[in-house]
C-alpha cells in the first residue's frame, strides 16, 4: 500500500483512541471492546492507537460481511448475525420519510465547531472524517455533545415528504452519558459545493489506512446551512448493528452538490443509503 509522503497514519494522540464510536458504517462495538482490552493489558495509549488499523481490520474479518444491495443487502442484515435482528424487528429505525411533524423544541441548536487537521478514512462503505478536537453541539435542552465524525451517503437516506436527495451527510455526536446524536445534512443536485470541493482531492481510495493530513485544516462549521431549523426524531444507526437510541436531527434547508461532485463520490464508494424505515407511531418534532 502506497502512502503519499505528506500523509501520515493516525496515532500518537491518546484522545483519538478514546473517542471512536460505532457509526452508521464504522467500527463495531466489538472492535471498541477489543481496543479497551488493549488498554487493560497495559499497552501505552500511543501504541494502542497505532494498532488501531490492525485492530479494526481484524475485527472486520470476524464480523459478517454486509452490503447495501443484493444478497447481503439491507433487507437481509437481520439474518446475517443474531445481534443484528433489530435491523428488522426494531421499531425506531432510521432513516425515515418525514411527511408530517409537530411543533417541537423552541430553543435553537448551538454549534461550537472548530477547525482540525484532516483525519480521513474510506472503509469501502463510506468516506469518514474524524474529529477529536472538542467541537460541540448544544441542544435546546442544554445537553452538550461532542462531534466524533461525519461521513457521506449517496443517496441521502432520510427523505422529506417523499423527496429523495442524491446525497446526505451524517454528523455523529456523543454525549457524556454515551448517547449518540446524528445531525443530517441533505443535498439536492445543483451548484458545486465549496466545502466538498476542498475535501474531494484528499478523499482516499477504499482500503487505505486512516490518514491524518496535518497541513489540511477542516472546519466542520463550513458545511452547515445558514438556516439551522431542523426536524427531530428517535432512530437508530443506519447500518448493522442498527442500534436504537440515536437522536436524529435533520436540517430542514437542503444544500447543493454538483453532478460532477456526485460522480466523484460514486467512484470512491458504491451507493450506500439504507431504504427508509416504518415510523411505527413515532412523532417527528419540528423546530421553528
Ligand atoms: Zn450514516
166-175 pLDDT tens trace:
999 999 999 9
Give the CATH fold of the 97-286 domain. Carbonic Anhydrase II (3.10.200)
Q: Which of 107, 127, 129, 108 is nearest to 117 (CA)?
A: 129
pLDDT of residue 62: 75
pLDDT per residue as tens digits for the range 56-112? 444 445 789 999 999 999 999 999 999 999 999 999 999 999 999 999 988 999 999
Q: Which of 236, 242, 234 is nearest to 75 (CA)?
A: 242
Marked catalytic residue, from 3, 7, 125, 153:
125
* Joined grid coordinates for residue 273: 443509503
Please tell me the distance between residue 108's alpha carbon and the centre of ligand 1 in angstroms: 23
pLDDT of residue 24: 59
pTM of the model: 0.81
Please tell me the distance between residue 170's alpha carbon and the centre of ligand 1 in angstroms: 5
In contact, 117 and 213? CB cutoff 8 Å: yes
Residue 214 has pLDDT above 90, yes or no: yes
Please tell me the distance between residue 190's alpha carbon and the centre of ligand 1 in angstroms: 22
Q: Is 125 a catalytic residue?
A: yes
The domain locations on the chain are: 15-65, 97-286
Please tell me the distance between residue 127's alpha carbon and the centre of ligand 1 in angstroms: 10
In contact, 151 and 25? CB cutoff 8 Å: yes
pLDDT per residue as tens digits for the range 18-58? 334 444 544 444 444 433 333 443 333 333 333 333 334 44
In contact, 125 and 27? CB cutoff 8 Å: no
Sequence-distant (6+) residues with CB within 8 A of 132 are 13, 15, 16, 19, 116, 119
Amino acid at each position: 500500500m502506497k502512502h503519499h509522503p505528506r500523509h501520515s497514519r493516525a496515532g500518537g494522540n491518546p484522545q483519538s483512541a478514546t473517542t471512536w464510536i460505532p457509526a452508521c458504517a464504522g467500527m463495531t462495538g466489538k472492535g471498541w471492546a477489543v481496543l479497551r482490552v488493549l488498554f487493560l493489558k497495559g499497552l501505552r495509549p500511543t501504541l494502542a492507537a497505532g494498532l488501531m488499523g490492525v485492530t479494526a481490520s481484524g475485527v472486520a474479518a470476524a464480523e459478517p460481511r454486509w452490503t447495501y444491495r443484493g444478497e447481503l443487502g439491507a433487507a437481509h442484515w437481520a439474518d446475517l448475525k443474531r445481534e443484528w435482528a433489530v435491523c428488522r424487528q426494531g421499531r425506531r429505525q432510521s432513516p425515515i420519510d418525514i411527511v408530517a411533524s409537530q411543533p417541537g423544541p423552541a430553543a435553537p441548536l448551538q454549534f461550537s465547531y472548530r477547525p482540525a487537521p484532516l483525519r480521513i478514512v474510506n472503509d469501502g462503505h463510506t468516506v469518514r472524517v474524524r474529529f477529536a478536537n472538542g467541537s460541540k453541539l448544544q441542544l435546546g435542552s442544554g445537553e452538550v455533545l461532542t462531534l466524533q465524525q461525519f461521513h457521506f451517503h449517496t443517496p441521502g437516506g432520510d427523505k422529506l415528504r417523499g423527496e429523495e436527495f442524491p446525497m446526505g451527510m451524517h454528523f455523529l455526536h456523543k454525549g457524556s452519558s454515551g448517547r449518540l446524536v446524528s445531525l443530517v445534512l441533505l443535498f439536492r443536485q445543483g451548484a458545486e459545493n465549496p466545502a466538498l470541493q476542498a475535501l474531494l482531492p484528499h478523499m482516499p481510495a477504499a482500503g487505505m489506512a486512516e490518514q491524518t493530513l496535518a497541513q489540511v485544516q477542516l472546519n466542520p462549521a463550513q458545511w452547515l446551512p445558514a438556516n439551522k431549523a431542523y426536524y427531530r426524531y428517535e432512530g437508530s444507526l443506519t447500518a448493522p448493528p442498527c442500534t436504537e437510541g440515536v437522536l436524529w436531527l435533520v436540517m430542514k434547508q437542503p444544500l447543493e452538490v454538483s453532478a460532477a461532485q456526485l460522480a466523484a463520490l460514486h467512484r470512491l464508494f458504491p451507493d450506500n443509503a439504507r431504504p427508509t424505515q416504518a415510523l411505527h407511531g413515532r412523532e417527528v418534532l419540528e423546530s421553528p
